[in-house]
Structure 1
Amino acid sequence: MAKGWIILGFAAGYVVGSAAGRKQFERIKSTVNDLWERPEVQKTVKKVDEFVEDKAPVAHDLGAAAADSVNATSTKASSTDEPTGSNS
C-alpha cells in the first residue's frame, strides 16, 4: 500500500511540476469537464441529488455547500491561471 502512495506522489509531482505534466493535466481536466457536461451524466447526477434530497435533507445541504465551495475554488483557480514562460 505504501508503494502505491509513493508512486501516486511521484505522479502528482510530475503533473504539477513539469510543462509536459501541465499539458497532460490540462488534457485530463478538459476530458473530465466534457464528461461531466454530458446529458446522461447530468441526468444521473440529478437522480442522485433528488434521492439524497428525499432521504437526507441535512446531508444534501452539506453536500451542496461543499460542491459550491469546490466550484468556487475551481473557478477562482482557473481564472488566476497564467501561462508560465521560460525562465531565461
Structure 2
Amino acid sequence: MSKLKLLIAFAAGYVAGAAAGRQRYEQIKANARRVAENPRVQSAAQRASDTVAEKAPVVAAAVRDGAVSAAGTVSEKVSEKVGSGSTDATSEEAQPPAPPTAPPIS
C-alpha cells in the first residue's frame, strides 16, 4: 500500500508541477513579446542592424587582406623550407617519401 501512495503523490506532484511550469512559460513568453514590441527596443535593433550593414564591407575587406597576407607568409615559409635544401633532384629532402608497399599475396 505504501508504494501506491508514493506513486499517487509523485503523479499529483508531476501534474501540478507541469501545470505551474506551463503557466510560468506563458508568462515568460508574454514578457518577451512585450519587450520585443517596445518601440525603444525596435529602434535599438534597427540601429544595430544599420551599423552591421555599414561596417560589414569594411570588416570583410580587413579579413580578406589578412587572409591574403597570411597566405603569402605561408607560401614564403614553404618556399624557404623546400628551397633550403640542395637543388639536386636526388637530394633526400627534395624527394617525397616512398609509398608503402603491400606484402605479397601467398
- TM-score range with shorter-chain normalisation? 0.3 to 0.5
TM-score (norm 1): 0.44
TM-score (norm 2): 0.37
Larger-Rg structure: 2
